[in-house]
Amino acid sequence: MQQPRIEYKDITKRFMQNGGGEGSAIVAVEDVTLSIKDKEVVSLIGPSGCGKSTLLNMGSGLYPPSEGEVKVDGERVSGPNDHVAFMLQKDLLLPWRTIRQNVELGQEIKGTPGKQRRERARELLEKCHLGQFADHYPHQLSGGMRQRAALARTLAVDPTVLLMDEPFSALDAQTKMILQQDLAETLEREGKTALFITHDLAESVALSDRILVMSQRPGTIISEIVVDIPGRGNPMERRHQRKVADYVGELMELLHVGDQAAGDEI
């Protein structure tokens, strides 16, 4: 049996409130177990505040679980490691560095020789349709272009697992769909494994092999949906399939969308 790329075993995470007295802990996630195999893309959806980002933070080694353990490539996660790269909602590009220099940053920190990291950055910028903007600065690029640069920076360190926390949520609908296509093609081409948080139900269907649904806090996995639509590497084509609406409807029922108060996020 193939070893999972990333695995959460019986994960519970508690955060202490100010004062830290008895009964002051907030349970963010509780008894979460999930695994993702090599080259699989899995979306994680659920109500706001249910602990989705908490799971990604533990997977990246930013803080440990209160109970249970996270493993990447069979090794227990005890801190940030070279196997995992994290992509957030904001691009967080350094404004004083060019786009190429931003893409090189992770490799530079790892001590990769200059010629090697420049070649890798050039290659990735070309694949992300940013080759002619390598010497530009972040303020000279649109939001979508900056997110492409952030994706190139994420891939530059050659992680086996990408953790992605709503990377397209701040973009307009047209730019978002273009970048979804870019991401899907890149994950397919590079053979990467990804755990992807989104509040966009159609996006989760278009991009994923599986979708995991979480409950209200304390978050736990309440359902797993296998997306049985061909063409995960081509979400624009996938969106034309009739099954997409069926999956979105199922997800809405699981999240009790109709029962949400007006203005609540799903």
Q: Which of 158, 192, 208 is the last residue of a domain?
A: 158
| Amino acid found at 157 | V
The length of the chain, given as a count of residues: 266
| C-alpha span between 28 and 26 (Å, rounded) | 6
Domain end, chosen from 158, 184, 199, is at: 158
| Measured torsion, CA atoms of residues 110, 116, 120, 122, in degrees rounded to the nearest 10 | 130
Q: Does residue 103 share a domain with residue 11? A: no
Residue 210 CB partners (closer than 8 Å, separation 6+): 40, 42, 43, 224, 225, 226, 227
Summarize pLDDT for 44-74 with one digit per residue, the tens: 999 988 999 999 999 999 999 999 999 999 9
Three-class DSSP category at 94? coil
pLDDT computed for residue 261 by the predictor: 41
Alpha helices (H) along the chain: 52-59, 99-110, 114-127, 143-156, 173-190, 201-207, 235-238, 243-254
Domain limits for position 186: 6-83+159-259
Do 100 and 128 contact (CB within 8 A), yes or no?
A: no
Q: Is the pLDDT of residue 2 over 90?
A: no
Assign residue 78 the CATH number of its domain. 3.40.50.300
**How does pLDDT run across 201-245, given as a tens digit for each residue?**
999 999 999 999 999 999 999 999 999 998 888 888 898 898 999
Where does the pLDDT of residue 1 fall: very low under 50, low under 70, confident under 90, or very high at 90 and above? low
Structural domain tally of the chain? 2
Are 77 and 108 members of one domain? no
Mean per-residue pLDDT over the chain, rounded? 89
Residue 47 CA to residue 51 CA, distance in Å, equals 9
What is the pTM for the complete model shown?
A: 0.88
Residue 73 lies in a domain: yes
Q: Taking residues 125-137, what's their average pLDDT?
A: 93
Q: What is the pLDDT of residues 143-161, one digit of tens each?
A: 989 999 998 999 898 899 9
Rounded Cα distance, 19 and 22, in Å = 9
